[in-house]
Amino acid sequence: MMAAAGLLKSGITLLSCWNRSPVGIRVLFPSRPLPHPPFSGKPPSFSLTHSSCITVNAKATARAVVSFCTAADAATTAIDSSASTTDSSSSSSSSSSPSEIASLSDAVAIKEAASLLDIRVGRVLKAWRHPDADSLYVEEVDVGEPEPRIICSGLVNYIPLDHIQGKLVIVLANLKPRNMRNIKSCGMLLAASDASRENIELLEPPEGSLPGERIWFGLENEKEKQPDTASPNQIQKKKIWETVQPHLKTDASCTAVLSVHFMRTAAGFVVSRSLKNASIS
């Protein structure tokens, strides 16, 4: 059927041989000339004697050709209509819906916002209990700067003090300093927590990561494409952390991700020790 349709659509050349005799006319399809028998006095009508040869009475030739061409035009119109409908349907099914486009746009915006965060590898040099807050630790953390930072973390009820001493951690370093019970905290240690917040674990960079190394999200080759980080004032004013944080989690293998983008250092992926599908803050 498709071959016939293609033949009709490409246009049929009717080759005719006018014998100029009362016996009739031969109307042939292209490149298939065949001998034809003479008419035997039958009434004017089609007599299909071969798949490529139609013999007609001379008086019926005009009507036959017109009828044939009319049928060809109708078939061609049907083919064009069908193709148009198919193309339209295919185009419609392959195009993205407004919600999908909006979702993609949001994902790109979130990743761009995350690239403005100054997230670094840190090493806890010393940690102690906050003298004025039972739930807080105070940590002295090397983040690759001339002097270590002082950071306060509400981890007393979740992580033993000796599990923090000397530990490699992940630090959000461009938050505005906060006064926490008379101690200025200059950053935040990132941790994974389950839905009940009964279990919390500090995120861990892979072995070989260096204090001060900047974290990024995505492919290995995206490290060199990171923009400059935003200032603490910009982070606060534009609520960049508040925009990014809901999309930070661990996946089923405990790897830290931003939506579908891995959190990584040059040495590999950042992980939680055991918490799967957990939020990160």
Domain ranges of the chain: 2-91, 112-280
**Torsion-angle region of 22 (φ positive above 0: left; ψ -120 to 50: alpha; else: beta):** alpha
More confident residue, 240 or 33: 240
- pLDDT > 60? residue 44: no
122-164, pLDDT tens digit by residue?
999 999 999 999 999 999 999 999 999 999 999 999 999 999 9
d(CA 237, CA 88): 47
The pLDDT of residue 41 = 47
The pLDDT of residue 164 = 96
Beta strand pairing call for 53-56 and 119-129? unpaired
168-182, pLDDT tens digit by residue?
999 999 999 999 999
With a pLDDT cut of 70, the percent of the chain lying above it is 64
Residue 262, SS3 per DSSP? strand
The pLDDT of residue 89 = 44
With a pLDDT cut of 90, the percent of the chain lying above it is 62
| C-alpha separations of 257 from 111, 114, 230, 250, 280 in Å | 11, 11, 21, 6, 9
d(CA 267, CA 248): 20
- Residues 188-199 have a mean pLDDT of 96
- pLDDT > 90? residue 70: no
The pLDDT of residue 6 = 42
d(CA 12, CA 135): 89
d(CA 220, CA 241): 23
- Residues 222-250 have a mean pLDDT of 96
Angle at CA of residue 249, ends 196 and 259, nearest 5°: 140
| Beta carbons within 10 angstroms of residue 238's beta carbon | 13
- pLDDT > 70? residue 9: no
Looking at the structure, give the CATH architecture of the domain made up of residues 112-280: Beta Barrel (2.40)
Single pTM value for the model: 0.66
d(CA 34, CA 243): 79
